[in-house]
Amino acid sequence: MLRTTDTPISEAKSNLAGDRSVRPHFDDIFMELAVNLARRSHCIKAQVGAVLARDTRIISIGYNGPPSGTHNCDEEFPDVGCPRDSKGSCSLALHAEQNAILYAAKNGSEIEGSTIYVTLSPCISCARIIFSMKIARVIFLHSYAEYKGIASDEGVDFLRRFGVTVERYVPGEGIALLSEPPLTKKTP
Protein backbone atom coordinates (compact mmCIF):
# COMPACT_ATOMS: atom_id res chain seq x y z
CA MET A 1 0.00 0.00 0.00
CA LEU A 2 1.13 3.51 -0.71
CA ARG A 3 1.10 5.99 2.11
CA THR A 4 0.59 9.65 1.36
CA THR A 5 2.70 10.71 4.36
CA ASP A 6 5.82 9.41 6.06
CA THR A 7 3.87 8.36 9.15
CA PRO A 8 4.74 4.81 10.26
CA ILE A 9 2.04 2.22 9.47
CA SER A 10 1.34 1.49 13.16
CA GLU A 11 0.82 5.19 13.85
CA ALA A 12 -1.28 5.60 10.69
CA LYS A 13 -3.57 2.77 11.76
CA SER A 14 -4.08 4.38 15.15
CA ASN A 15 -4.85 7.73 13.48
CA LEU A 16 -7.52 6.16 11.28
CA ALA A 17 -8.83 4.02 14.12
CA GLY A 18 -9.88 7.01 16.18
CA ASP A 19 -6.83 8.56 17.86
CA ARG A 20 -8.55 11.45 19.67
CA SER A 21 -5.49 13.70 19.33
CA VAL A 22 -6.06 13.89 15.55
CA ARG A 23 -9.30 15.40 14.34
CA PRO A 24 -9.60 14.83 10.59
CA HIS A 25 -10.86 17.47 8.20
CA PHE A 26 -13.85 16.56 6.07
CA ASP A 27 -11.54 16.38 3.03
CA ASP A 28 -9.74 13.54 4.84
CA ILE A 29 -12.98 11.80 5.80
CA PHE A 30 -14.48 12.03 2.31
CA MET A 31 -11.28 10.90 0.59
CA GLU A 32 -10.98 7.93 2.96
CA LEU A 33 -14.57 7.00 2.06
CA ALA A 34 -13.76 7.28 -1.66
CA VAL A 35 -10.79 4.95 -1.16
CA ASN A 36 -13.02 2.42 0.59
CA LEU A 37 -15.72 2.74 -2.09
CA ALA A 38 -13.13 1.94 -4.77
CA ARG A 39 -12.78 -1.48 -3.15
CA ARG A 40 -16.44 -2.17 -4.08
CA SER A 41 -15.65 -2.02 -7.80
CA HIS A 42 -15.92 -5.27 -9.76
CA CYS A 43 -13.54 -3.98 -12.44
CA ILE A 44 -10.43 -6.12 -12.79
CA LYS A 45 -8.47 -3.30 -14.43
CA ALA A 46 -8.94 -0.36 -12.06
CA GLN A 47 -10.95 0.49 -8.98
CA VAL A 48 -12.09 4.08 -8.49
CA GLY A 49 -14.33 5.61 -5.82
CA ALA A 50 -16.10 8.97 -5.60
CA VAL A 51 -17.94 10.99 -2.97
CA LEU A 52 -20.10 13.96 -3.89
CA ALA A 53 -20.51 16.34 -0.95
CA ARG A 54 -21.61 19.81 0.01
CA ASP A 55 -19.95 21.36 3.04
CA THR A 56 -20.01 18.57 5.64
CA ARG A 57 -22.79 16.47 4.09
CA ILE A 58 -22.58 13.60 1.63
CA ILE A 59 -24.87 14.00 -1.38
CA SER A 60 -23.99 10.78 -3.19
CA ILE A 61 -21.36 8.09 -3.58
CA GLY A 62 -20.16 5.99 -6.51
CA TYR A 63 -17.58 3.60 -7.80
CA ASN A 64 -16.71 2.46 -11.30
CA GLY A 65 -18.51 -0.43 -12.92
CA PRO A 66 -21.29 -1.41 -15.28
CA PRO A 67 -24.78 0.04 -14.85
CA SER A 68 -26.67 -1.45 -11.92
CA GLY A 69 -28.50 -4.64 -12.82
CA THR A 70 -26.39 -5.57 -15.84
CA HIS A 71 -23.37 -7.70 -14.85
CA ASN A 72 -20.17 -7.71 -12.84
CA CYS A 73 -16.99 -7.64 -14.92
CA ASP A 74 -14.96 -9.79 -12.53
CA GLU A 75 -17.66 -12.49 -12.67
CA GLU A 76 -18.60 -12.41 -16.36
CA PHE A 77 -15.11 -11.68 -17.73
CA PRO A 78 -12.81 -12.88 -14.91
CA ASP A 79 -9.66 -13.40 -16.97
CA VAL A 80 -9.56 -10.32 -19.19
CA GLY A 81 -12.20 -7.89 -17.94
CA CYS A 82 -14.98 -6.44 -20.05
CA PRO A 83 -14.52 -5.66 -23.74
CA ARG A 84 -12.56 -2.52 -24.57
CA ASP A 85 -13.73 0.39 -26.72
CA SER A 86 -11.67 1.93 -29.52
CA LYS A 87 -9.63 3.96 -26.98
CA GLY A 88 -8.86 0.93 -24.80
CA SER A 89 -11.31 1.87 -22.04
CA CYS A 90 -14.00 -0.33 -20.54
CA SER A 91 -16.88 -0.40 -23.00
CA LEU A 92 -19.51 -1.39 -20.42
CA ALA A 93 -18.61 0.64 -17.34
CA LEU A 94 -19.63 3.94 -15.84
CA HIS A 95 -16.90 5.89 -14.08
CA ALA A 96 -17.13 6.53 -10.34
CA GLU A 97 -17.88 10.23 -10.88
CA GLN A 98 -20.64 9.38 -13.35
CA ASN A 99 -22.24 6.94 -10.92
CA ALA A 100 -22.16 9.45 -8.04
CA ILE A 101 -23.54 12.30 -10.19
CA LEU A 102 -26.23 10.15 -11.85
CA TYR A 103 -27.47 8.82 -8.52
CA ALA A 104 -27.64 12.33 -7.06
CA ALA A 105 -29.51 13.66 -10.12
CA LYS A 106 -31.86 10.66 -10.15
CA ASN A 107 -32.80 11.42 -6.55
CA GLY A 108 -33.24 15.16 -7.08
CA SER A 109 -30.24 16.24 -5.03
CA GLU A 110 -28.81 19.71 -5.52
CA ILE A 111 -25.46 19.18 -7.22
CA GLU A 112 -24.50 22.72 -8.24
CA GLY A 113 -21.70 24.13 -6.08
CA SER A 114 -20.75 20.77 -4.58
CA THR A 115 -17.35 19.08 -4.25
CA ILE A 116 -16.46 15.68 -5.68
CA TYR A 117 -13.73 13.58 -4.09
CA VAL A 118 -12.32 10.93 -6.41
CA THR A 119 -9.48 8.45 -6.12
CA LEU A 120 -8.41 9.03 -9.74
CA SER A 121 -8.45 12.46 -11.40
CA PRO A 122 -11.31 12.84 -13.87
CA CYS A 123 -10.89 11.81 -17.49
CA ILE A 124 -11.97 14.35 -20.09
CA SER A 125 -15.46 12.80 -20.41
CA CYS A 126 -16.06 12.98 -16.66
CA ALA A 127 -14.63 16.51 -16.59
CA ARG A 128 -17.25 17.63 -19.13
CA ILE A 129 -20.01 16.14 -16.96
CA ILE A 130 -18.57 17.70 -13.79
CA PHE A 131 -18.44 21.10 -15.49
CA SER A 132 -21.94 20.74 -16.95
CA MET A 133 -23.39 19.86 -13.53
CA LYS A 134 -21.70 22.98 -12.09
CA ILE A 135 -19.67 21.09 -9.50
CA ALA A 136 -17.41 23.74 -7.97
CA ARG A 137 -14.49 21.72 -6.64
CA VAL A 138 -12.70 18.44 -7.48
CA ILE A 139 -10.28 16.76 -5.08
CA PHE A 140 -8.37 13.77 -6.49
CA LEU A 141 -5.93 11.27 -5.02
CA HIS A 142 -4.11 9.72 -8.00
CA SER A 143 -3.40 11.17 -11.45
CA TYR A 144 -5.29 9.77 -14.45
CA ALA A 145 -2.39 10.83 -16.69
CA GLU A 146 0.11 8.88 -14.58
CA TYR A 147 -2.22 5.86 -14.54
CA LYS A 148 -2.77 5.94 -18.32
CA GLY A 149 0.81 6.96 -19.17
CA ILE A 150 -0.25 10.10 -21.03
CA ALA A 151 1.34 13.53 -21.05
CA SER A 152 -1.25 15.52 -19.13
CA ASP A 153 -4.41 15.25 -17.07
CA GLU A 154 -6.76 16.46 -19.82
CA GLY A 155 -9.76 16.42 -17.49
CA VAL A 156 -7.97 18.48 -14.86
CA ASP A 157 -6.72 20.92 -17.50
CA PHE A 158 -10.24 21.29 -18.93
CA LEU A 159 -11.83 21.91 -15.52
CA ARG A 160 -9.23 24.48 -14.50
CA ARG A 161 -9.54 26.26 -17.84
CA PHE A 162 -13.24 26.79 -17.18
CA GLY A 163 -12.97 27.88 -13.56
CA VAL A 164 -13.50 24.69 -11.56
CA THR A 165 -11.19 24.38 -8.56
CA VAL A 166 -9.15 21.17 -8.86
CA GLU A 167 -6.71 20.03 -6.19
CA ARG A 168 -4.63 16.94 -5.61
CA TYR A 169 -5.47 15.54 -2.18
CA VAL A 170 -3.00 16.30 0.58
CA PRO A 171 -3.80 14.72 3.94
CA GLY A 172 -4.37 16.98 6.90
CA GLU A 173 -1.83 17.24 9.67
CA GLY A 174 -1.45 13.93 11.49
CA ILE A 175 -3.54 12.03 8.94
CA ALA A 176 -2.05 9.10 7.08
CA LEU A 177 -4.46 7.96 4.40
CA LEU A 178 -3.66 4.44 3.36
CA SER A 179 -4.44 3.86 -0.28
CA GLU A 180 -3.49 1.71 -3.16
CA PRO A 181 -2.96 2.88 -6.71
CA PRO A 182 -6.07 2.55 -8.87
CA LEU A 183 -4.82 -0.64 -10.50
CA THR A 184 -5.07 -3.10 -7.66
CA LYS A 185 -6.71 -6.41 -8.54
CA LYS A 186 -4.39 -9.10 -9.74
CA THR A 187 -5.52 -11.33 -12.55
CA PRO A 188 -4.75 -15.05 -12.09
Decide if 101 contacts 63 (C-beta within 8 A). Answer: no
Decide if 148 contacts 122 (C-beta within 8 A). Answer: no
Active-site residue (options: 11, 32, 75, 97): 97
CA distance 2 to 83: 29
Known catalytic residue: 97? yes
Contacts of 128 (CB under 8 A, 6+ apart): 158
Q: For the range 70-77, what are the long-range contacts, defined as Cβ-Cβ under 8 Å and sequence gap of 24 or more? A: 72/42, 73/42, 73/43, 73/44, 74/42, 74/43, 74/44, 74/185, 75/42, 77/44
Dihedral angle sign, alpha carbons of residues 106, 107, 110, 113? negative
Decide if 31 contacts 61 (C-beta within 8 A). Answer: no
Tell me the residue type at 45. Answer: K
Active site residues: 97
